[in-house]
Structure 1
Amino acid sequence: MSMVEMTEGQPRSTDGLQMDWIEVPFGPFFSGLPAGLRLTLTLDGDTVAASDATSLVGATNLMDGPQMNVTDFVDRLAAMMPLSPVAYRTLACAAIEDAAGVEPADDAQRGRAAAVERERIASHLNWLADFGLQSGFLWLAARAGALQLAVQDAGADGIAAQAGAIRRLTRRVQAAPLMRMRLGGIAPIGKDTPASGPVDRARGGGSDARIDDPTLAALGFEMRLQEGGDALARFRLRCDEIAQSLDLIAAAGIIAMPQVRDVKTVSGEGAARIETPRGAAQLRVRLVDGKVVQADLDTPSTVNLALVETLTAQQELGDALTAVVSLDLSPWEIRG
């Protein structure tokens, strides 16, 4: 049988050739991608012709029944987001406090802010470890992973003790020529495309929910940006944010896990917005007689998931996987 007969009726590639397209699954346990993300790439040779990314663990109901005790609701939301439980615990507490019209003391606010920044450091280090694993930089995977474990439950003094090692790692990895060669020009995102978090701010603009937080403003927060909008810019921005979070924790001098206030029998509606490691999350709640009866959540990974198809189309397989890793998606955040 001739090649013409073998490829008759097959899709035509961008180079004009006709050949078999095959669907290849990457995930939910593919090295370098977050566990729970199902990524299916349709390959035309070694080029991605189409892609589909879905979560196998997300979209769990926020409410466990028609109403919930506020403490149970806060614990549930934190448990639903294992990649950033502190940020979502803080978000739930803030939304409930807004509905009840109560506000934590300044020390509690500083402690909460520092706890979220500690989680940002650990999350970005975890991303560096995953990227190192996916790209073959095993020294990076090992070192970033070890530092993540060292800081994720540390107090302010413990963070200070690890700060020098963390800064040395981010400087070393940013200076590596192979890193610039591997990431430069990969998966650029234009300024008009919806995006959230570091993916958004790595293109020379964007937003950061921390700008509106007076506690962080008092600690010296300023939004970090990078130019270019590609995987290299996203990598550099996360390194910048690690250094910034170290400074914010040092300024706070305290790390405290958020605790929900006693709202007694208050009824009302409230909302809160927080900058998680992956971008802005917003929660709206309604209280009736001190119980949560309604909750709605917007998450950054839901926004960034929509970028996968565009960023992987017509890319060589290795570059397509790097593009997906650069988004730092959390399957647990993906709603709908």
Structure 2
Amino acid sequence: MIEVTKDLPRSADGLQMDWLEVPFGPVFPGLPGGLKLTFTLDGDGVTAGQATSLVGMATEGDDFEEVEAGTFIEHLASAMPLAPVSYRLLACQAIEQAARVNDDPATTQARNSALERERIASHLGWLAQVGRQLGFTWLTHRASTLQLQVRDANRKRLVALEPALRALGTRLGRTPLLKARLKGIGVLPTESSDLRGPMARAANEGGDAWARLWQRLAEISASLDLIKGAGEPELPSLCDIGDVSGTGETTVDTPRGEARLSLKLEHGHVKSYKLDTACSHHIGLVEKLVEGRELGDALVAVGSLDLSPWEVAP
């Protein structure tokens, strides 16, 4: 036996055995479709891991075939199925800035209300994934039901859903097994410059999966308050820009963090663009997050990042 195993890697427990490279995804319970994890396993421990996207779009287009501004907006929104409103707004704002269109307060308010509605729906979708991954069937059912009710709701309906949304947060806080499973899992360094959105805001509250859960619950409440004080949610649509040329750059705080878009407009057509998303930075955290962890903990840690594979270049 000594002769057979003498050249194999040595495990943390002193044993020598084969290390296996195992894929998880692109369809795996508790993780978004299109995300592929590749772990090197030493028994039930993860010695190395990485995440890749199989469905993302190119983040730069310097030589792509120019398209009419409205077509570009539809293309970007449809390419991001987990946050179409956010990226529609991002494209509208960048194009309008390039065209030097002045902001209309009423339009801005309606757009922001739609953005906050999408934030609530997105965080509920993440909660449903958490429930699926951890085996909390009630959480999966409740969060996904609320997500469907929120997604296209008007302001009055969103206000009516507030008690149910707050009750969900209360129940999560009273679920001791949930805290035991998430506390201390997936701790990220507070000094990391790659963190954006809920990830960055939770870093100062412990930086683990439990902190990220409560950060997203807090954002659901904050979004509800913003909607109550704003106008009716309205899907962003492009203002009349005419046959103009120019350059524009803007940032939108999507449910997963800040996304930035810069583009060049020529005679009402998008000539080139550059897109920077939160998930394109967060996906690089997987390698350090899973190294040396048990397999179950590693999968929970990755799930807590709320990665959207559509927002990462393949």
Tell me, yes or no, whether TM beats 0.5: yes
Paired residue for 1:22, among 8, 20, 23? 20
Q: Does 1:325 align with 2:280?
A: no
Paired residue for 1:52, among 40, 50, 53? 50
Partner of 1:201: 201
CA RMSD, 1 decimal: 1.3
- In 2, the alpha carbon distance for the partners of 1:169 and 1:48 equals 33
Q: Does 1:157 align with 2:135?
A: no
Query: Larger deviation: 171-180 or 74-83?
Result: 171-180
Paired residue for 2:224, among 243, 246, 260? 246
Query: 1:301-333: per-residue Cα shift (whole Å, max 9, x none)?
Result: 010001101110010111000000000000000
SS at match of 1:59: coil
1:50-129 to structure 2, matched below 5 A, reads 50-60=48-58, 65-129=64-128
- CA displacement at 1:62 relative to structure 2: 6.3
Partner of 1:231: 209
- Could you tell me whether the CA contact under 8 Å between 1:299 and 1:335 is conserved in 2? no
- Could you tell me whether the CA contact under 8 Å between 1:29 and 1:36 is conserved in 2? yes
Query: Larger deviation: 100-109 or 44-53?
Result: 100-109
Displaced runs of 4 or more, over 4 A? 61-65
SS at match of 1:270: strand
- In 2, the alpha carbon distance for the partners of 1:235 and 1:151 equals 19
Partner of 2:168: 169
- In 2, the alpha carbon distance for the partners of 1:60 and 1:189 equals 28
Partner of 2:286: 308
- CA displacement at 1:52 relative to structure 2: 1.9
- In 2, the alpha carbon distance for the partners of 1:134 and 1:315 equals 17
Stretches of structure 2 that go unaligned for 5 or more consecutive residues are none
What fraction of aligned residue pairs are identical, expressed as a percent?
A: 50
1:248-263 to structure 2, matched below 5 A, reads 248-263=226-241
Partner of 1:221: none
Query: Larger deviation: 96-105 or 138-147?
Result: 96-105
- In 1, the alpha carbon distance for the partners of 2:4 and 2:32 equals 38
- Could you tell me whether the CA contact under 8 Å between 1:32 and 1:325 is conserved in 2? yes
- In 1, the alpha carbon distance for the partners of 2:231 and 2:56 equals 35
Partner of 1:32: 30
Stretches of structure 1 that go unaligned for 5 or more consecutive residues are 205-226
Query: Larger deviation: 125-134 or 51-60?
Result: 51-60
- Could you tell me whether the CA contact under 8 Å between 1:62 and 1:77 is conserved in 2? no
Paired residue for 1:9, among 7, 10, 16? 7
Query: Larger deviation: 82-91 or 94-103?
Result: 94-103
SS at match of 1:24: strand
- CA displacement at 1:8 relative to structure 2: 2.5
- TM-score scaled by length of structure 2: 0.96
- CA displacement at 1:106 relative to structure 2: 1.1
- CA displacement at 1:142 relative to structure 2: 0.6
- In 2, the alpha carbon distance for the partners of 1:37 and 1:185 equals 24
Query: 1:81-133: per-residue Cα shift (whole Å, max 9, x none)?
Result: 00000000000000011111112421111110010100000000000000010
Aligned residues: 312
SS at match of 1:307: helix
Query: 1:154-199: per-residue Cα shift (whole Å, max 9, x none)?
Result: 1111111211101100121123111111111111111122212111
- In 2, the alpha carbon distance for the partners of 1:187 and 1:77 equals 31
- In 1, the alpha carbon distance for the partners of 2:155 and 2:140 equals 25
SS at match of 2:55: coil
Which gives a bigger RCO, structure 1 or 2 (Cα 8 Å, sep 6+)? 2
- In 1, the alpha carbon distance for the partners of 2:292 and 2:312 equals 25
- In 2, the alpha carbon distance for the partners of 1:196 and 1:9 equals 43
Query: 1:209-234: per-residue Cα shift (whole Å, max 9, x none)?
Result: xxxxxxxxxxxxxxxxxx11111101
